[in-house]
Amino acid sequence: MTGVPRRDRPPVRGAVVDDMTRCVHYRSAVDIIAIRFACCGEYYPCHLCHEEAAGHPAEQWPLDARAEKAILCGACGDELSIADYITVTACPRCHSPFNERCALHAHLYFETDLQESP
């Protein structure tokens, strides 16, 4: 598969189990994304990996940051914007399917317009 050479991809922190960004918590065939966390700018496969390894609380990406490249496709190494990621079920570049159940955790990573303001 063509894409960004692995040596040129950003590092993925946490309990990673393979070079497709799977981790000990989420490792199905479609668990192939890592999220760049708003709080530290580091990529982790999931919120649990961040919680265990980062040493600080996670922060959500604000609504006005939808253009930020914050999703790494573990299959091809493409970095997607938040806006692009939340509207697709597969990588736009390599067409590898993403785990649609990740949407259940989206509120942990991304602020939504359904959330109440403080």
DSSP-assigned letters across all residues of 47-116: HHHHHHHSSS---PBPGGGTTSEEEEETTT--EEEHHHHTT-SB-TTT-PBP-GGGGGGHHHHB--TTSP
Q: Do the domain assignments include residue 115?
A: no
Q: Kindly state the average pLDDT of the residues 8-30.
A: 97
Question: Is the whole model's pTM more than 0.95, yes or no?
Answer: no
Number of domains forming the structure of the chain: 1
Q: Do the domain assignments include residue 30?
A: yes
Q: Do the domain assignments include residue 117?
A: no
Domain membership of residue 46 as a residue range: 6-109
pLDDT digits (tens, 9 = 90+) for 50-92: 999 999 999 999 999 999 999 999 999 999 999 999 999 999 9
Q: Which residue has the higher pLDDT, 38 or 7?
A: 38
Note the Cα 12 to chain centre separation in Å. Answer: 10
Please give the angle made by the CA atoms of 55, 57 and 61, to the nearest 5 degrees: 125
Q: Do the domain assignments include residue 21?
A: yes
